[in-house]
Structure 1
Amino acid sequence: MPKTARRAAAVAALALAVSGCGGERQPVAAPAAGPVITAIGEATSIPPPPAEREPVTQSAPVEAAITFPRTGSGQWMFTPGSDEVAGKSGRLMRYRIAIETDIDGVGPAEFAKDIRTILGDPRGWTAGGQWRLQQVGPADSADFTLYLATPSSRDRLCGGTPDSYTSCRNGSNVVLNVARWANAVPNYGAPLEVYRQYMVTHETGHRLGQGHELCPGPGKRAPVMEQQTLGLHGCVPNPWPFPDGGREYTGPPGEYDDPIPTGTS
């Protein structure tokens, strides 16, 4: 099946919505994503300059390359919900999953499964008994929406100072920058899978009320709420708040004044 036909079939099979304005630096919150099938903000209707339409390809160490433009359309495929509930006790937080339609190399069903696996991991946020998490469909009420976004759409959703590099949480928007999902960050010191676990858990942690933390000491695990995308400061990568399945692992509150790299790679 031609690529355009496959994309049309995928869009037809999933709920389609248009979004506009929601990194790790937690900018001032913008309005939460509204009902699906609703345009949020005006920016997404403005065609990008021709130079920005050139695709950016990140060669991820997975089966296929993930290809995306720097400036996406702002149109979203919302994946169907699931009956699975992660966690046995605590407040139920329901979330939707949306993938920008310009992104190739990320299957919606596989991506949703990856997110459910990360958020349902026994070392994740449900381990403390305070939270339960469930993915719901596009028409269901939700406490937050998790977006996989192109760099420019990341900037619109995150608000604050645009950087096109980090991921973020902004109000009820949990935004994963596809450039980071595809290629992690240089010198992270752990496989891509670990970085993906970190970025999902970190940004979701912000939605659950968690602030930034510092490295507790050289050679120790980085707290999941440390801004590991920008630097580890002597710690080693760690994507989990309960890495041993027992007591929550944290560091001193605060954040470093690390520079944010330029570009989207």
Structure 2
Amino acid sequence: MPKTARRAAAAAVLAMAVAAALTACERQPVAAPAAGTVVTAIGDATSVPPPPAEREPVTQTVPVEVAITFPRTGSGQWMFTPGSDDVAGTQGRLMRYRIAIETDIDGVGPADFARQIRGILGDRRGWTAGGQWRLQHVGPDQPADFTIYLATPASRDKLCGGTADGYTSCRNGSNVVLNVARWAHAVPNYGAPLDVYRQYMVTHETGHRLGQGHELCPGPGKPAPVMEQQTLGLHGCVPNPWPFPNGRAYEGPPGEYDDPIPAGDS
């Protein structure tokens, strides 16, 4: 074989080997949770900017809200996001949590979703404000005290156990389960923007994992305690997603209402 041909053949073999190694690295499985199969861990996309002379002018545009779509019954396979070195809170017991998204859910970027969860749980009005808890998002292969799942309605029912309703979110043991139908649509007549409802559902269900029980509305026109079941009704209170809304603990009387649960939706 001529020298030029041998070099070409060797280069081709090397390229195939590198490509195979990269593919294997990208598809390397991560530790599976008790709830189902893990497909892969999803990280932030990175890119190297071109040299300054080659950069094109940047046009500012208004962000477009991407529609969230999902089946009622998902596959039970999960994408986990990498963790963070940041710890929310300065004192108290450290609780580590993982974040998983069911693979059938479209319109929710895993990295952006993880940032939203960290932002909610790290908010100065959240559970770390009282000095009892610190919270840290960890990766799928690290020890964790609980896992936050964004699940399709049917997978919500499997993870939550008990009565299947396909509508609410829940906490079951170390599972903090966010129903994607609620994440996408909130609830009718909630009286606050979608972001506020999302803050509520994350803080409420995490509150259960931290040992908090349900509470009642303390009076008409007052903020709802975050541990009131605001998804099912406000009972004269106004929406509130925080346990420390003004830097001080805010609670209502212990108890819960006998509100009916709407039919599950997709």
TM-score bracket for this pair, using the shorter chain length: 0.7 to 0.9
Number of residue-to-residue matches in the alignment: 219
Asked if residue 243 in structure 1 is aligned to residue 241 in structure 2, the reply is no
Q: CA 1:34/1:194 → structure 2, altered by over 3 Å: closer, same or farther?
A: closer
Query: What is the CA-CA distance between 1:102 and the residue it aligns to?
Result: 0.2
| Deviations 1:210-232 (CA, angstroms, capped at 9, x unpaired) | 00000000000000000000000
Give 1:85's match in structure 2, choosing from 84, 87, 99: 87
Aligned to 1:44: none
Q: Aligned with 1:93: secondary structure? A: strand
Q: Aligned with 2:220: secondary structure? A: coil
Give 1:205's match in structure 2, choosing from 198, 204, 207: 207
Q: What amino acid maps onto 2:147 in structure 1?
A: T
Asked if residue 166 in structure 1 is aligned to residue 168 in structure 2, the reply is yes
Normalized against structure 1, the TM-score is what? 0.79
Using the alignment, how far apart are the partners of 2:239 and 2:148 within structure 1? 23
Contact 1:16 1:77 in 2 (8 A): no
Contact 1:155 1:164 in 2 (8 A): yes
Contact 1:14 1:79 in 2 (8 A): no
| Deviations 1:168-219 (CA, angstroms, capped at 9, x unpaired) | 0000000000000000000000000000000000000000000000000000
Asked if residue 262 in structure 1 is aligned to residue 263 in structure 2, the reply is yes
Contact 1:17 1:76 in 2 (8 A): no
- Structure 1 unaligned regions, length at least 5: 1-8, 20-32, 39-60
Query: What is the CA-CA distance between 1:264 and the residue it aligns to?
Result: 1.2
Give the greater-gyration-radius structure (CA).
2
Query: What is the CA-CA distance between 1:36 and the residue it aligns to?
Result: 7.2
Give 2:119's match in structure 1, choosing from 99, 117, 125: 117
Using the alignment, how far apart are the partners of 2:196 and 2:254 within structure 1? 23
| Deviations 1:35-57 (CA, angstroms, capped at 9, x unpaired) | 9759xxxxxxxxxxxxxxxxxxx
Aligned to 2:150: 148
Using the alignment, how far apart are the partners of 2:99 and 2:28 within structure 1? 11
Aligned to 1:229: 231
Q: What amino acid maps onto 2:261 in structure 1?
A: I
Q: Aligned with 1:69: secondary structure? A: coil
Normalized against structure 2, the TM-score is what? 0.78
Contact 2:167 2:181 in 1 (8 A): yes
Cα-Cα RMSD: 2.1
Deviation >4 Å, runs of 4+? 12-19, 34-38
Aligned to 2:186: 184
| Deviations 1:70-128 (CA, angstroms, capped at 9, x unpaired) | 00000000100000100000000000000000000000000000000000000000000
Contact 2:35 2:76 in 1 (8 A): no
Using the alignment, how far apart are the partners of 1:62 and 1:261 within structure 2? 30
Query: What is the CA-CA distance between 1:166 and the residue it aligns to?
Result: 0.1
- Structure 2 unaligned regions, length at least 5: 1-22, 40-62
Contact 1:15 1:79 in 2 (8 A): no
Q: Aligned with 1:66: secondary structure? A: coil
